Chains A and B, each alone.
With several copies, the nearest count.
Chain A
Amino acid sequence: MERVYSDRQRRSGVYERQEPFRLKIKTVSTPSEPTEDHRQQEVAAATRPRDALTPEDHLELLRQLYLARYFDVRLIKEKRRGRLRGTLYSSHNQEAILVGTLFGLKPDDWISPIHRDMPAFFLKDIRGRWDNPERKGMTIEEVCSQVWGKATAPGRARDNWSHIGDVKRGIIPSTSMLAGTIPVACGVAYDFKMKGLDNVVLTYNGEGSTAQGVFHEAVNLAAIHKLAVIVIIENNQWAYGTPVHLEVPTKDVADRAKGYGIPGLIADGQDVLDVYDKTMWAVDRARKGLGPSLIECKTFRAYGHGDHDDDRAARYRPADEVADGRSRDPIAVFKRYLVESKLLSEEDAARYSPEGKDAPSTTDQDFPPEVVNYLKRGVEFAIKAPLPEPDEAFRWVFAEGDGS
């Protein structure tokens, strides 16, 4: 039925019925072997974002994969040695998602990582400026301070693990409640829109978290107002002890996007460049004011849900499924690509090889010295840092200062 508007409606722009975005990209089931549809999408995006990356960019990507992996194995070892308190949610085997989604962002873009994404806090805006104090990401010292629970942590260790943030550097402080930061991201993106900024917000969630009501409310809101929110779904096949098909009724989690008329892309979560391509396509679209996208990154959880779950996970997940899920280490996949495209020599590729190795069996020799030293600095800082004073516990229940 043709719509007619009252003066009141016409005066307020929003009531003009916006023609709904028509989904151009079909989704594919197994990203490992790109299908027709899959390529269509890449064609759709005139040139692939990766084509604009320099050889140095490629090596930086590899360096960041090493860093994310090294951070993970080092923490796993520390935890097993009983040196850390709290639970450790390993991002092992999922690093390409973090590196690939963050690599192309602008410093003033926002992100909201979850428990599985600890490296994201220091990977944000690290590209080419690991030691620049001005960068809009957390320092390795801050992140290590958080892991060790010290007063030098961003939230002075008032909550554990990934429950940190920094509004000055565009990181939403998150609660434990899954999918709970997506509406917050909508609010941040709404502010961008009002200010005419072309920044975006990347939210990270696991596939299981898409079953939360607030996921729906937030994505629906973002779609209605065409907010620059990119919903990254790390589909690692398991939500704690529950397999994906008991959380999501469709074959692909990306299908959730269809309910909102927004693009639902599927990326090979083991391929940092595929993740980069899909992300930048969605980011570019969002910067143009065309609204949100959902990107399902297919991957596999290497260990237990948390380190406390490693033993039980070995029982509730069949060994062959785990072996299969870990068979395409993102470092190996990317190295192969670099060698094939002559961006890395066989020899250099062979020099540092943590890929495929279980955390405990990796050594510092498996990683480039700049990566080892970078983290060492953070760890040493954290270990020396003081615990917060007990009295602090009573502060900041309310913001200090009256704000008016």
Chain B
Amino acid sequence: MSVALSAPPIEKKNYLTALKDAIRFEMLRNPEMVCIGEDIGLLGGAFGVTEGLQEEFGPDRVIDAPISEAAIVGAAIGMALRGRPVMVEMQFIDFISCGFDQIVNNAATMAYRTAGKASVPIVIRGPSGGYGGGGPYHSQQNEAWFAHSPGLKVVCPSTPRDAYGLMISSLRDPNPVIFYEVKDLYRKREIEEEIPDDTIIPLGSASVVRPGSDITIISYGNPMHMCIKVAGMLADDGIEAELIDLRSLVPLDEDTIYRSVKKTGRVLVVNEASRTCGFAAEVIARVNENCFQYLDAPPLRVTRADTPVPWVQPLELAVLPSVEKVYEAALKVARF
């Protein structure tokens, strides 16, 4: 009873609310900040990430843009050149392809072309990933395009707290950040958590989700949660997996990766993007360059197959990573 009388506990937030609150926190903190995107104002965003922002900050700072991804990114660059941080929403990250040139050739290279005299503090964020029956154009996880484009930072959180803390850091970063939100996690109850308003997670810091000595499992985004389940299954087999959530791909927290691999000698990389030239390949290449002598087994990867993401469930699940596929691959690495 007396407990009930003490300060009320901070209520738990889901992944979507965490993002919304982080954006709102920055909009309040920095009156220069602007949000622009399709249907983000009057509607509040297709998924509601910007719900209420236009009513609170007005239509000038929360812009309902025409269906023009290239102009939206370009305009954000212009506002950024005038010193404004800009949050750009892609209704689905899949549509980023329509603003591609402005991102990889204009925003990404601004600092480089001007020898650091200009920079583009914009965050391009949007719902990404499969498992929802979205089909080829509402399920993409195309972060490798941007990880391969120098000058862009790339982020993908797997928990509400990380989503909040990384969004704060991204919105304060002077560089363009491509922010991948896992829409499948937007409203997942199981992962809701308390998030202090002052939570900040610097870009380039991975988190060790679970310590272990036998195998290092590296992942980010939605598959991270499969890896957690798999770690439990492996423990039952007497295999202690160390789980690393990269959280940001560019910059990459190499120390955390190498420290772990040098300890376990075994690596499995799991991500949702299609396989060829995906980020899993990059992690494996760097592990080879830095930890080769420590490897007791071939670093393997579990990824989406090299196909688009098909619509109907039996097909979609066939090409995407699953607990079974991750478990099987982990055993292969651990028992090699």
Contact = CB atoms under 8 A, between A and B. Distances in A.
Interface of A: 8-9, 11-15, 85-86, 149, 154-160, 163-168, 172-173, 175-178, 180-191, 193-194, 208-209, 211-214, 217-218, 220-221, 224, 239-243, 246-248, 312, 316, 387-404
B290 interface: no
23 contacts: A12-B41, A12-B42, A15-B42, A158-B312, A158-B315, A159-B137, A160-B134, A167-B117, A173-B118, A177-B137, A187-B79, A190-B78, A190-B79, A211-B67, A213-B68, A217-B71, A218-B68, A221-B68, A312-B43, A387-B314, A397-B151, A398-B153, A399-B175
Interface stretch (B7-15, B54-62, B155-163, B231-239): B54-62
A216 to B, nearest CB: 8
Contacts of B54: 12
Interface in B15-66: 34, 38-39, 41-44, 46, 54-55, 58-61, 64-66
Nearest to B41: A12
Contact of B55 (A12, A173, A214, A242): A12
Given A14-B59, A214-B70, A175 B105 contact: yes
Contact of A185 (B43, B60, B68, B78): B78
B87 to A, nearest CB: 13
A197 to B, nearest CB: 10
B165 interface: no
Nearest to B81: A167
Given A12-B42, A220-B68, A239-B67, A183 B78 contact: yes
B39 A240 contact: yes
Greatest chain B CB density within 10 A among A166, A191, A214, A399 is at A399
B317 A390 contact: yes
Contact of A173 (B66, B82, B114, B174): B114
A173 B114 CA distance: 7
Interface of B: 34, 38-39, 41-44, 46, 54-55, 58-61, 64-68, 70-82, 84, 94-95, 97-98, 101-102, 105-106, 109-119, 121, 133-138, 150-151, 153, 172-175, 305-308, 310-319
A394 B117 contact: no
B42 A316 contact: yes
A180 B135 contact: no
Contact of A183 (B38, B70, B305): B70
Contacts of B312: 85, 149, 157-158, 387-388
A329 B306 CA distance: 47
Given A12-B54, A183-B70, A186-B78, 13 more contacts: A159-B137, A187-B79, A188-B79, A208-B67, A211-B67, A212-B67, A246-B64, A247-B67, A390-B314, A391-B318, A393-B316, A396-B112, A402-B172
A191 B34 CA distance: 10
Contacts of A243: 42
A220 B101 contact: no
B32 to A, nearest CB: 9
Contacts of A181: 74
A393 B305 contact: yes
A154 to B, nearest CB: 7
Contacts of B118: 165, 167, 173
A247 B66 contact: yes
Q: What 3 A-B pairs are tightest by C-beta distance, nearest first?
A: A187-B78, A183-B74, A241-B43
B115 A158 contact: yes
Contacts of B64: 14, 241-242, 246
A211 B95 CA distance: 14
Nearest to A176: B137
Nearest to A312: B43
A155 B135 CA distance: 12
A220 B39 contact: no
A178 B137 CA distance: 11
A188 B110 CA distance: 15
Contact of A188 (B71, B82, B136): B82
A368 B306 CA distance: 48
Nearest to A180: B106
A155 B112 CA distance: 8
Contacts of B308: 158, 397
Nearest to B251: A398
Given A13-B59, A390-B315, A399 B42 contact: no
Nearest to B307: A397
A389 B312 CA distance: 10
A160 B66 contact: no
B119 to A, nearest CB: 4
B135 A159 contact: yes
B114 A165 contact: yes
B54 to A, nearest CB: 6
Nearest to B152: A398
Contacts of A164: 113
A352 B136 CA distance: 40
Contacts of B105: 175-177, 180
B276 to A, nearest CB: 11
Nearest to B83: A191
Contact of B138 (A12, A158, A176, A397): A176
A159 B310 contact: yes
Nearest to A150: B312
B68 A211 contact: yes
A159 B319 contact: no
Contact of A221 (B41, B65, B151, B316): B65
A128 B231 CA distance: 63
B148 to A, nearest CB: 13
Contacts of B98: 177, 212-214
Contact of B113 (A158, A218, A242, A400): A158
Nearest to B101: A177
Given A191-B84, A217-B68, A242 B42 contact: yes
Nearest to A112: B78
A209 B173 CA distance: 33
Nearest to B48: A312
A211 B77 CA distance: 19
A334 B86 CA distance: 46
Contacts of B81: 167, 172, 184, 187-188
Contact of A12 (B39, B59, B70): B59
Nearest to B274: A397
A86 to B, nearest CB: 6
Contacts of A387: 312, 314
Contacts of B153: 398
B38 A155 contact: no
B175 A398 contact: yes
Given A186-B78, A388-B312, A221 B71 contact: yes
A168 B46 CA distance: 36
Contacts of B114: 154-155, 165-167, 173, 396
